[in-house]
Amino acid sequence: MAGNPLDKKSQGWSALFSEPMDVLVQRYTASVGFDRRLARADIAGSLAHARMLAAQKVIAAQDLADIERGLEQVGEEIDSGRFEWKLELEDVHLNIEARLTQLVGDAGKRLHTGRSRNDQVATDIRLWLRGEIDAIAPLLVQLQKALLDVAAQHTDTVMPGFTHLQVAQPVSFAHHLLAYVEMFARDAERLADVRKRTNRLPLGAAALAGTSYPLDRDAVARELGFEALSENSLDAVSDRDFAIEFAAFASIAMVHVSRLAEEIVLWMSQNFGFIDLADRYCTGSSIMPQKRNPDVAELARGKSGRVIGHLMGLLTLMKGQPLTYNKDNQEDKEPLFDTVDTLAATLRIMAEMVGGIRVKPDAMRAAALKGYATATDLADHLVKEGVPFRDAHEVVAHAVKLALARGVDLAELPLAELRALHPSIGDDARDALTLEGSLNSRAVRGGTAPAQVRAQIERHRRRLG
């Protein structure tokens, strides 16, 4: 077997270098500690490249057979943990190539024909991210389904809807949860869109300018399942906008999760008491024996911070880079990996936790009654009797004042006293003032009326299959 130049890499890149790389520099520039996560994508990309090289007669059929055999063994060694990763070989690409050459000799040294690590790494990240996108999409579906299952049981469970965190109008708990289903449905749309732009093949761009070998880029794209090519070689090796876009999607999804988590924390506090969480999703306190804390929800809220941070990191990483590839881009991996891990773990546990929510309808109802949530309904009643809305608004303010002074709910004020405020208040005013009357009346598309909400649940269930 001929010598393997990659084995001597720590002594220098080529005959051009007259002294070995400084140890600190070696440690500083190596990425193999984290980019080994791309190994499977790297092997898949190399196989597709080698097959195309053979089909184009750039390498011999025997070389291809050797490369295929060697890469299979490399894959097995990596999967079984036997692979010896070497820091002096810098990154996942050089580690795999060196081992391949050790195993199969010259054929291994031919693999890199017409290719650079610049288009190689861009291809690997895209392949890897596409796989992760396909794993995250069902997690978004699971979370939506968990919300729908709880919602289906609570289309008639009344809670206060809030604006400014002040009691505003009655809504059903189902309606409230469906708001989050809408958010996660849009996140899923965004993810599908990110996938399209991630799923384009950079390979063939080589270092930056393309290559003189007769590569068949379309064949490589087909084999790897890419739906299009990166059409400009300079852009192909240098931009990481697909990763930024993924981080933006993930940040928005985590913000949605964080809002839901925040509400779960609030609802579970004694002051609200709207829900309880199954014990298995709570933690205790080491000092206060009475405590049951919603740590999972708090962490989900907290972890949104790191994902948003990664988005900022990736944007900042890109913004000052002149075309084309710069080593800065090596810094894209850790934030991207952590974004994927954090989002996936959070979506998974949120779906589980939502399934374990125990609703306390009485507390929700009491809170809705306490806040004069049906005041708008009394105003609407007057408007239907011909009173201009602004006048009705004023009359109802007086009614609330009266109810407050008595310490009663609006529906409990005697009809005669309501009439004294405005003669147009009719016999059926009291019905409009009940929580159920209020809920049922909001039957506009997208409104909180139980019939409307049930229809929305059906629509979502059909969509999610």
For the record, the structure tokens of 214 come out as 């007769």
Distances (CA, A) of 110 to 42, 43, 107, 285: 16, 15, 5, 61
Q: Which is nearer to ligand ARG, 27 or 186 (CB)?
A: 27
Q: What's the closest the beta carbon of residue 88 comes to ligand ARG, in angstroms?
A: 14
Q: Which is nearer to ligand ARG, 148 or 206 (CB)?
A: 206
Q: Which is nearer to ligand ARG, 216 or 328 (CB)?
A: 328
In the complex, the residues that contact ligand ARG under the rule CB under 6 A are 31, 35, 91, 117-118, 121, 325, 327, 329-330
Q: Which is nearer to ligand ARG, 35 or 377 (CB)?
A: 35
> For residues 424 and 126, what is the distance between their CA atoms, to the nearest angstrom?
67
**146 Cβ neighbours under 8 A, 6+ residues apart:** 350, 351, 352, 354, 355
Q: What's the closest the beta carbon of residue 99 comes to ligand ARG, in angstroms?
A: 16
From 36, 52, 40, 32, select the one nearest 113 (Cα to Cα).
52
The catalytic residues are 164, 285
Q: Which is nearer to ligand ARG, 32 or 433 (CB)?
A: 32
Cis before 324? omega within 30 = yes
Q: What's the closest the beta carbon of residue 71 comes to ligand ARG, in angstroms?
A: 18
Q: What's the closest the beta carbon of residue 85 comes to ligand ARG, in angstroms?
A: 13
Q: What's the closest the beta carbon of residue 38 comes to ligand ARG, in angstroms?
A: 9
Q: What's the closest the beta carbon of residue 135 comes to ligand ARG, in angstroms?
A: 22
Q: Which is nearer to ligand ARG, 318 or 369 (CB)?
A: 318
Q: Which is nearer to ligand ARG, 262 or 328 (CB)?
A: 328
Q: What's the closest the beta carbon of residue 237 comes to ligand ARG, in angstroms?
A: 9
Gap between the terminal Cα atoms of the chain: 57
